[in-house]
């Protein structure tokens, strides 16, 4: 049920061409992955001054949502997301052919 529901919800994301990553240094690839997660956490804070200008309850609501977003990003990004990809070795950045599990070799 969750996968059916999640397939109908649009999500903004970027697709990384892993073949292109083979030509850059490991530090540049790590910087690219980490910058995505950091931007996802910091950019929502830009709306807080405007939210407080609208009203204090709106500002508090947006502050709580922004903090929840940052905590969510820190936790999940370090386990399966961009922080995780930034911290592991070069082998994750290089495309490997998928194994053929159907063969009897």
Total count of domains within the chain: 1
pLDDT given for residue 72 in this prediction: 86
pLDDT given for residue 90 in this prediction: 47
24 or 12: which carries more pLDDT confidence?
24
Model-level pTM?
A: 0.58
Q: Is 79 domain-assigned?
A: yes
CB atoms within 10 A of CB 27: 9
What pLDDT digit, counting tens, does each position of 35-90 carry? 888 888 889 999 999 999 999 999 999 999 999 988 888 888 777 777 777 775 44
Q: Is 78 domain-assigned?
A: yes
For the chain, the straight-line distance linking the first and the last C-alpha, in angstroms and rounded, comes to 37
Half-sphere exposure of 45 (CA within 13 A, CB side): 7
pLDDT given for residue 70 in this prediction: 87
Q: Is 104 domain-assigned?
A: no
Structure tokens at 29: 């690839």
Q: Is 83 domain-assigned?
A: yes
Domain enclosing residue 69, as ranges: 46-96
Whole-angstrom Cα distance, residue 87 to residue 89?
Answer: 7
């Amino acid at each position: 049920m969750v996968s059916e529901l999640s397939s109908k919800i649009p999500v903004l994301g970027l697709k990384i061409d892993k073949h292109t990553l083979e030509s850059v240094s490991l530090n540049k690839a790590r910087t690219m992955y980490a910058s995505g997660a950091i931007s996802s956490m910091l950019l929502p804070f830009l709306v807080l001054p405007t939210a407080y200008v609208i009203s204090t309850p709106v500002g508090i609501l947006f502050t709580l949502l922004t903090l929840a977003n940052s905590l969510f990003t820190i936790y999940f990004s370090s386990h399966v997301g961009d922080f995780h990809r930034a911290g592991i070795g070069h082998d994750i950045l290089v495309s490997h052919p998928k194994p053929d599990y159907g063969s009897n070799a």
